[in-house]
Amino acid sequence: MMGPLRGSRAVEHWLAWRYLATRQREGFVSVIAIFSLVGVTLGVATLIVVLSVMGGFREMLVSRVIGMNGHVVISAKQGMLKSDADLLAKLRQVPGVKEVRLNLERQALATAGGQTRGVTLRGVRVEDLASRDIVARNVVTGELGSFGTKRGVVIGEKLRQNLNTRPGDAITLVTHGLNESGTIAPRYNDYAVLGSFQTKRYEFDSSLVFVPLEMLQDDLEYDRRTLSSIDLELADESRAPRIAAELRTQLGRDDLKIADWLSLNARFVGALQVERVMMFIILTLIVLVAAMNVVASFTMLVRTKRGSIAILRTMGAAPATIVRAYFLAAAAVGVVGTTLGTVLGLTICGAMPAIGRFLSSITSPGSGSAEVEFITGMPVRVSVVEVGTIVAVAIALSLIAAAYPAWRSARVEPVEGLRHE
């Protein structure tokens, strides 16, 4: 018996299982171990679900911010931007640039249906509007096919509702300019409403009006080269700061302001990132508390098993065998809990759309509000890197927690252990 106890891994695994099994005398210890297992499971699952939902919201918010603008925005430092064929050709040749979009923006008043609202006019080319997925894929009424061929505009759905209009109705856009005497005078231009879009972001849906670029330039008495900005859409949005820096060097124009979407939305993106990191730290404390329960339960188990440890030692079991057995038993709680928590978290993430619809039916039954749908839609983005980090942290905490009771088991002297039997 002495030989197998010294060298057999099977003996260590058998001992670890016996330590985990419920016995009448150590039943309370086993209950603590079960609660520790449940704590690790819930902690890991909570981390995965919360970070995945936060990642989904972040991705959706960022896509709506940069989807209506661009990853890199080029404008004039003073006044209006003067574009030319050479500048546009250089921008199209930049590696990683998918689309080059021209914009002309102006503040205005929109009047229709007896209502008046402040709006932002954005003059765009037909192909630029068609390639802007956030608009093209979210048309609510009307259609975009007539844009550019008719004297018409495409407006946000919330604005359309506020102005009480439908596709085909007339809308008057009031801007201002200088008359011959040099005084400011209003300008009235009539258009037809061609359609409406809904991005589920209030500032776009309630105030944005797309106008064909050349029509707006004519109405404002600008030449064809006059723009407010040029937006660049990139294949990889994370490269925006690097490409913006390269453009500043390549173009070598001091009259241009070149900014990337991260710098333009630094506070917004920074707040999301800080919230994400803090949530990870706070929720990791749940796993840490469960790991401390593992330490407590298996330290108590070592105390109650002193006699058994002493008998094993007198039968020839090496201290390392006892240590590995206790380490395996304690670590098993953390590893199994982490595995169950990962499965549970990913399952909840997969069911999150159904959960969102259920919450929506309870909190706001029959509501079609886009803002409510945005919250209860529960966007989820499961990141392999995040899940891997959570699993690694949880297992690391579990192994660290298992080390102490295993170390304590090696310090039990056979004489002292047998004295209490």
Residue 244 lies in a domain: no
Residue 105 lies in a domain: yes
Question: Tell me, what's the pLDDT at 269?
Answer: 78
Question: Tell me, what's the pLDDT at 77?
Answer: 87
Higher-confidence residue of 14 and 271: namely 271
199 and 131 within one domain = yes
Categorize the per-residue pLDDT at 1 as very low, low, confident or very high, splitting at 50, 70 and 90: very low
Judged against a pLDDT cut of 50, whether residue 373 lies above it is answered with yes
Question: Tell me, what's the pLDDT at 335?
Answer: 83
Judged against a pLDDT cut of 50, whether residue 28 lies above it is answered with no
293 and 221 within one domain = no
402 and 278 within one domain = yes
**Is residue 111 left, alpha or beta, with left meaning phi > 0 and alpha meaning psi from -120 to 50?**
beta
302 and 210 within one domain = no
Select from 227, 259, 287 the last residue of a domain: 227
Categorize the per-residue pLDDT at 117 as very low, low, confident or very high, splitting at 50, 70 and 90: very high
pLDDT tens per residue, range 206-226: 999 999 999 999 888 888 889
59 and 90 within one domain = no
Categorize the per-residue pLDDT at 228 as very low, low, confident or very high, splitting at 50, 70 and 90: very high
Residue 370 lies in a domain: yes
Question: Tell me, what's the pLDDT at 155?
Answer: 94
290 and 385 within one domain = yes
Residue 237 lies in a domain: no
291 and 198 within one domain = no
Judged against a pLDDT cut of 90, whether residue 122 lies above it is answered with yes
Judged against a pLDDT cut of 80, whether residue 311 lies above it is answered with no
Residue 315 lies in a domain: yes
Residue 169 lies in a domain: yes
Number of domains in the chain: 2
223 and 141 within one domain = yes
Judged against a pLDDT cut of 50, whether residue 2 lies above it is answered with no
Judged against a pLDDT cut of 90, whether residue 195 lies above it is answered with yes
Give the domain range for residue 300: 2-63+269-419
Residue 242 lies in a domain: no
48 and 189 within one domain = no
47 and 85 within one domain = no
Judged against a pLDDT cut of 60, whether residue 330 lies above it is answered with yes
Judged against a pLDDT cut of 50, whether residue 258 lies above it is answered with yes
Judged against a pLDDT cut of 50, whether residue 417 lies above it is answered with no
Higher-confidence residue of 94 and 369: namely 94
155 and 127 within one domain = yes
